[in-house]
């Protein structure tokens, strides 16, 4: 899909609001940038993720992030904190590709459907709809890898393969019990869609506030390091809020990976564990993890965009 030349466009068109037209080339580059942003950051946070998942399923043994990491290293060596690195890298690279790339597309589509007046009036709803639409598709790509990652990270030592390909084969062999590859898709949607809506809406709103109230000159007049600092700070704030919103569903997904919960419905697990426990267990670790991760995701994404001549995201 190629955008028409501005001279050919008789009406307001969201695809021409940025520094470059949003055509097929633009969206393709956004797919690549999103893949790098999510794949690199999630894989880099694997030790924290392993500790967080184990805190959610065994809070007595794993009481905190650092103590959990120390326990894993003491029992399993340095490889213990890198369990699930392979499916994390692959899964979140795929997810990030669709999350960011399709968000750019859906945002433009919904803005054009709404028109200029309604877009200016209901930007927050358009950001929410665009990010939710992108995440629904992204999670289909992520689900098989996420199920494998959680199983690797939460299984007692020696009960499940930790290497990537053997783990995938074992998940496939256990599909009758695990409902692999899409058995966790609905819980994943319940975690990721609210998380992504908060992540993108709060990011866009925060960037806009920066350039409206603190940096009041045109965005392009500021240096690239300044623009990327705004990107990182806005992403970090968005990550904190997103972590709080999505933690109950994230805890539930970890619980679904436990052997003793095999065959239980999500509702049954919620009634047994309690919603308050699901909402708070591992929350501090998740806030730290997602604040840092989301800040760097947006920074990598916008760094890639600027390197490819697309400009940074958001602003006036």
Q: Which carries the bigger pLDDT value, residue 225 or residue 284?
A: 225
Average pLDDT over residues 271-296: 85
Q: 199: burial class by Cβ within 10 Å (0-12, 13-18, 19+)? A: buried
Q: What is the enclosing helix (H) or strand (E) of 295? A: helix 283-307
Omega prior to 6 cis, within 30 of 0: no
**Domain architecture of the chain: domains with CATH:** 17-307 (1.50.40.10)
Please write the tens of the pLDDT for every residue from 64-114.
Answer: 888 999 999 999 898 899 999 999 999 999 999 999 999 999 999 999 999
Q: 205: burial class by Cβ within 10 Å (0-12, 13-18, 19+)? A: middle
| Cα(225)–Cα(230) distance, integer angstroms | 9
SS3 content of the chain, % helix, strand, coil (to 5): 80, 0, 20
| Cα(29)–Cα(26) distance, integer angstroms | 5
Please write the tens of the pLDDT for every residue from 6-22.
Answer: 444 458 999 999 889 99
Which segment of 122-136, 164-178, 241-255 scores lowest on mean pLDDT?
Answer: 241-255
| Cα(106)–Cα(197) distance, integer angstroms | 13
Which tokens in the block code for residue 139? 């999670």
């Amino acid at each position: 899909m190629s955008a028409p030349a501005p001279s050919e466009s008789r009406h307001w068109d969201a695809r021409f609001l940025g520094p470059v037209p949003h055509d097929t080339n633009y969206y393709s580059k956004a797919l690549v940038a999103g893949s790098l942003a999510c794949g690199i950051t999630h894989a880099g946070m694997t030790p924290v993720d392993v500790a967080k998942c184990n805190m959610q399923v065994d809070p007595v043994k794993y009481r905190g992030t650092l103590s959990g990491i120390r326990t894993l290293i003491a029992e399993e060596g340095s490889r213990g904190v890198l369990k699930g690195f392979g499916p994390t890298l692959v899964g979140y690279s795929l997810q990030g590709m669709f999350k960011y790339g399709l968000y750019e597309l859906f945002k433009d589509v919904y803005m054009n459907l709404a028109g200029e007046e309604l877009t200016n009036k209901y930007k927050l709803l358009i950001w929410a709809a665009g990010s939710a639409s992108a995440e629904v598709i992204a999670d289909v790509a992520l689900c098989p890898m996420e199920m494998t990652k959680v199983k690797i990270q939460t299984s007692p030592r020696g009960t499940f393969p930790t290497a990537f390909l053997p783990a995938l084969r074992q998940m496939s062999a256990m599909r009758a019990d695990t409902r692999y590859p899409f058995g966790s898709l609905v819980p994943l949607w319940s975690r990721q869609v609210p998380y992504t809506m908060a992540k993108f809406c709060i990011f866009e709103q925060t960037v806009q506030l920066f350039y409206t109230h603190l940096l009041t000159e045109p965005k392009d007049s500021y240096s690239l390091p300044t623009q990327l600092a705004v990107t990182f700070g806005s992403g970090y704030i968005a990550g904190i809020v997103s972590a709080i919103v999505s933690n109950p569903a994230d805890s539930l997904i970890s619980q679904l990976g436990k052997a003793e919960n095999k065959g239980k419905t999500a509702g049954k697990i919620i009634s047994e564990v309690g919603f308050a426990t699901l909402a708070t267990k591992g929350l501090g670790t998740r806030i730290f993890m997602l604040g840092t991760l989301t800040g760097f995701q947006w920074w990598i994404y916008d760094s890639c965009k600027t390197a490819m001549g697309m400009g940074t995201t958001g602003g006036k």
